[in-house]
Amino acid sequence: MKITCKWQDNEWALFKDAQATAAEMLEAAGAKEVTLRNAPSAPGECIHEMGSARMGNDPKTSALNRWNQAHDIKNLFITDGSFMVSSACQNPSLTYMAMTARACDYAVNQMKRGEI
Ligand SMILES: Cc1cc2nc3c(=O)[nH]c(=O)nc-3n(C[C@H](O)[C@H](O)[C@H](O)COP(=O)(O)OP(=O)(O)OC[C@H]3O[C@@H](n4cnc5c(N)ncnc54)[C@H](O)[C@@H]3O)c2cc1C
């Protein structure tokens, strides 16, 4: 497989605007000698892909309910990054772990009640 990938005009415009805005905020807060980078990270270097089995209340628009449990299959729980509906710039792995612990607790209680 050969993959060719590079930032296009819009990504460069976003990058430059983010830099200028960040510098403006830092200087307004009193920062001195603010240094800007020449280029953004390589594509894929900072990436958090998620959302392929998204969580939601409506089975028509989501795969999982609020407990990471499949709407259609009660004994199926999905707790990797796919349950997240959107991604932010923060690292997500600790949130996956917290949500996994929460889903396990719920599943154990459901099993004890004979619901699954
Ligand atoms: C460069 C980089 C740096 C990162 N740094 C951080 C960080 O510092 N902190 C942080 O919290 N997050 C970080 N992340 C994000 C984090 O790594 C991911 O969000 C996390 O790994 C997602 O976990 P996951 O289990 O959902 O998916 P993945 O870890 O992608 O696991 C999916 C697995 O499924 C397998 N698979 C795919 N298709 C099939 C198939 N058809 N059959 C069988 N297996 C299949 C894949 O081989 C893979 O092993 C980083 C991501 C990248 C790319």
The dihedral built from the CA positions of residue 109, 78, 92 and 62, taken in this order, carries a sign that is negative
Kindly state whether residues 107 and 61 are assigned to the same domain: yes
**pLDDT tens-digit profile of 32-73?**
999 998 888 888 787 888 899 999 999 999 999 999 999 999
State whether the beta carbon of 90 lies less than 6 angstroms from ligand 1: no
| Residue 57 CB contacts under 8 Å (≥ 6 apart), including other chains | 65, 66
Kindly state whether residues 100 and 63 are assigned to the same domain: yes
Ligand 1 atom closest to the CA of 81, numbered from 1? 26
pTM of the model: 0.76
Ligand 1 atom closest to the CA of 45, numbered from 1? 1
Domain extent, residue 95, equals 48-116
**What total of structural domains would you count in the chain?**
2
Kindly state whether residues 53 and 109 are assigned to the same domain: yes
**pLDDT tens-digit profile of 66-96?**
999 999 999 999 999 999 998 877 899 999 9
With H, G, I as helix, E, B as strand and everything else as coil, classify residue 89: coil
Kindly state whether residues 58 and 37 are assigned to the same domain: no
